[in-house]
A and B are shown apart, each in its own frame.
Chain A
């Protein structure tokens, strides 16, 4: 069966510090991968998605970046964190099925607090 891991589970970082969040998927190959952010009390916002190694699409302009160095590894980074980067970061994967039936499976999330 497939599993998705995210770490760390929680993180407290000062403003201006760098960030690296990691997501890995097991039990599947060539998944679509996604990064979402959920601010406190708000809905989920898609940040990045990837359909293959080295292929990253950004949905919103921000000081974050994403990379996919391996098939089942997705990394979210920032060079300098802002207060507004605080939130719950979720990684997800899907099989990339066409036709509107694709299902996404989410990781446990990383709760980031920027002070």
Chain B
């Protein structure tokens, strides 16, 4: 999988929106952008994925830059349960089904 860059950590206040950035300047045209998160002492869970257009689901929104070199995961109202490590991962179109996890962003939510 191509490389992504994320801040090591971010802080947010409860019930405020959170924007988690991810840079992927070497992304190719067929790479999908996936986000997973890992709550403390649990396995990662899928959050969202997209290719070119912005995506919304019940957990979050994914905003993808027009040149696709960056993306932002948006949590509309952070709760204490959203405190986790968030991973941005590029999935190559034809490179099999493995996930390569980087360091991710540790999100801390303050009450």
Contacts and interface: CB of A to CB of B under 8 A. Distances in A.
A100 B92 contact: yes
Nearest to A109: B43
Contact of A100 (B41, B43, B45, B93): B93
Interface size range on B against A: 20 to 34
Interface stretch (B14-22, B58-66, B95-103): B95-103
Contacts, number: 60
Given A100-B92, A100-B93, A101-B91, A90 B103 contact: no
Contacts of B36: 104
Contact of A106 (B45, B94, B98, B104): B45
B28 to A, nearest CB: 10
Contacts of A103: 34, 46, 49
Interface of A: 32, 34, 43-46, 49, 59, 90, 92, 94, 96-109, 111
A94 B101 CA distance: 16
Nearest to A106: B43
A90 B44 CA distance: 9
B32 A104 contact: no
A99 B45 contact: no
Nearest to B85: A43
Contact of B46 (A34, A44, A98, A104): A104
A1 B45 CA distance: 16
